[in-house]
Chains A and B, each alone.
Chain A
Amino acid sequence: MILTVSWRNIWRNPTRSLIVMGALLVGMFSGVFTSTFMNGWMKQRIRDGVETEVSHLRIQSPEFKKSGDFEDFFTDISKLESDLFQNPNVNGVSPRLSIQTMIASAETATGVQLFGVDPDKESQVINISEKVIEGKWFEGVKRNPIIIGQKLAEKLKVKLRSKVVITIQDKDGNIVSAAFRIAGIYKTINTTFDEMNVWAKLSDIQNLTLLHSDVAHEILVHTNNYETINEVVDDMSAKHPELSTLSWQKFSPEFAVLTEMGNMYLYIFVIIILLALGFGIVNTMLMVVLERIHELGMLMAVGMNKRRVFSMIMIETLILSVIGGFAGIICGIWATDYFGDKGIDLSIWSEGLEEWGYSAIIYPEYDWTVMIIIAFLVVLTGIIAAIYPSYRALKLAPAEAIRVI
């Protein structure tokens, strides 16, 4: 019956109760939606980064990992490849040469990272071939095809089929140059990346550098899903302790940090909102206790004990906070679902965003654990906010409270 009393008490002053609930609704909605928006944005950035730039995991020699130097390659690649494919979770392996070079057009020259790859294998580990917007991934050019980013093409003032010259060091330390023809121009969401990375055929680079065919600087690996990445890493680390095998999180810790930062930011945000709303709730409930002094005094006089008086105010506060707060969370989840399908187009600002590798269309995404924690925080706020008003109600002296003034 205390529940009935608390529930009806809430509707004694519907305007006031609705204002409190409304504030909680708006607060929790913005908390949840901002967080799912950020979350979606981060995850997308990570997926894009991993699928386009990093690959699921990477094997390098420990020396190359440190230096990135031409000489720090490792051998026996075909053996490693077959080792990798023995793991059923692996569905793509691409050994690469990765070399810092100069690329020059008729106009200008700049430094880039050149990858010598098997085009088919490379397409199995990263989706860069799908990002080609002009020309085709290693098609249409017979001799020395090269794939460059759109940003680099702009910088070099070159077009599809234009000739560029690559200058490189060979195995013996001689500087060699060769002409390549642009077979494709790609564009990712990360223009900095587009400016810095070019792809050529492994065989062409081997010829140029005089490296034999069974060496590589790194091997990129793709697995059937994100959950199995660490299994594959453990498997390879055990089989080849002499090599450094790193998952994308370890290889690009900045992406992993993004996830943690996102959650951190969310909790801080939600806690600040709840703190502000909490004071509003305390204030409202103090007003309630004050207004009902006579009634509470009467109840205590006729024999309602302190625990019940306390829980009556507590329950009322909780109902108030939970209705508003949960409605806000549900609206937030609903909006997340809605925009999760449709996406939110930020293209007005996308120019700047894409420079940093962030997509212009954002698909908010929520995490059930996080939503449950937020719901729990709402309840906690209700409880904490109820303590002081309930305590004030307890401190009423029934003889005083009941007195007719």
Chain B
Amino acid sequence: MAIIQIKQLKKIYNSTQVPVHAINGIDLSIEEGEFTAIVGPSGSGKTTFLNLLGGLDNPTSGTITIGDEEITKLTPNQRIKFRLKNIGFIFQAYNLIPVLTAKENVEFIMELQKKSKTDRTKRSMELLKAVGIEEKANHFPRQLSGGQQQRIAVARALASRPKYILADEPTANLDSTSTENLLNIMENLNREENITFIFSTHDARVVKKARRVITIEDGKILSDERKN
């Protein structure tokens, strides 16, 4: 069953004199439980695509349907609520609030989701355990390595038990061990909890792990391959 339906998606940036066709007509459907990489060189439109998919930005034309919700039709406030409930985000950087500890960072998002205090304390530790970082629970982001920070970001993204997680170049700033580590965690979550992962990358090692690889260039899909 397709949980995400994308039709004739276009995004044109008009901020410069020449309009930029960042996304130039994408049709795509993504099924539940996929582990999909969006691949392409810098400037190909990966970030723009993921932002549209997550409802952070409005497309110029086209529609995105997630479940039975056409998110391109929602008001900004409805979209914020939708994100909070259904989508987990992992960004390339700035994922964490620097003044909160690892555990507090996870709890903070759960507070926004109006979870009870006992719930928050319990689940945040579970999540940190799941990403293998429970002993760093009371460390602040600046006391942690880039890989550890990204793992907290994964834990944070999981807080709302989202159906799918969008990750924009999550390993871009990581060394190979950390990259390997993070991908293993993501893969496990995908297999065990059936969470759909869509992540962008231009790292060949990351691409290897994906079960579906969508290559885009100049805002268009160049190829779409499935592996087993």
Contacts and interface: CB of A to CB of B under 8 A. Distances in A.
A294 B93 CA distance: 9
A302 B156 contact: yes
A257 interface: no
Contacts, number: 69
Contacts of B204: none
Contacts of A294: 93-94
Interface in A303-347: 303-306, 308
Given A303-B83, A304-B112, A305-B77, A295 B89 contact: no
A397 B79 CA distance: 13
A66 interface: no
B170 interface: no
A300 B80 CA distance: 8
**Contact-residue bracket for chain A:** 20 to 34
A9 B98 CA distance: 9
A294 B104 CA distance: 19
A174 B166 CA distance: 112
B15 to A, nearest CB: 10
A79 interface: no
Nearest to B160: A303
The prevalent SS among residues of A at the interface is helix
A1 B108 contact: yes
B100 A303 contact: no
A308 B97 CA distance: 15
A305 B97 CA distance: 16
B84 A398 contact: no
B98 A305 contact: no
A403 B47 contact: yes
A97 B166 CA distance: 98
Nearest to A402: B91
B94 A302 contact: no
A109 interface: no
Given A5-B100, A302-B109, A402 B94 contact: yes
B89 A301 contact: yes
A9 B91 contact: no
A299 interface: yes
A399 B56 CA distance: 5
A402 B169 CA distance: 13
A9 B108 CA distance: 15
A295 B98 CA distance: 9
Nearest to B117: A1
Contacts of B109: 302-303
B44 to A, nearest CB: 15
B99 A302 contact: no
Interface string B90-129: 0111110111100010011101110000000000000000
B99 A9 contact: yes
A258 to B, nearest CB: 51
Contacts of B113: 303
A348 interface: no
B56 to A, nearest CB: 4
A9 B100 CA distance: 9
Given A294-B94, A295-B94, A403-B47, A302 B83 contact: yes
Choose among B56, B57, B113, B156 the residue with the greatest number of A CB atoms under 10 Å from its CB: B56
B87 to A, nearest CB: 8
Interface string A394-405: 000111001110
Interface string B37-70: 0000000000100010010110000000000000
Contacts of A398: 56
A299 B56 CA distance: 12
Contact of B97 (A297, A299, A403): A299
B97 A302 contact: no
Interface string B152-188: 0000110010000000000000000000000000000
A298 interface: yes
Contacts of B100: 4-5, 8
Contact of B107 (A1, A300, A306, A399): A1
A142 interface: no
B46 to A, nearest CB: 12
Contacts of A12: 98-99
B97 A295 contact: yes
Q: Which 7 A/B pairs are nearest by Cβ-Cβ distance?
A: A303-B84, A8-B99, A294-B94, A399-B57, A399-B56, A399-B51, A303-B83
21 contacts: A1-B111, A295-B98, A297-B94, A298-B91, A302-B83, A302-B84, A302-B157, A303-B81, A303-B160, A304-B80, A304-B112, A305-B112, A306-B80, A397-B57, A398-B56, A399-B56, A399-B57, A403-B47, A404-B91, A404-B92, A404-B94
Interface of B: 47, 51, 54, 56-57, 77, 80-81, 83-85, 89, 91-95, 97-100, 104, 107-109, 111-113, 156-157, 160
Given A301-B56, A306-B80, A404-B93, 9 more contacts: A1-B107, A4-B104, A5-B100, A295-B94, A298-B94, A303-B85, A397-B57, A403-B47, A404-B94
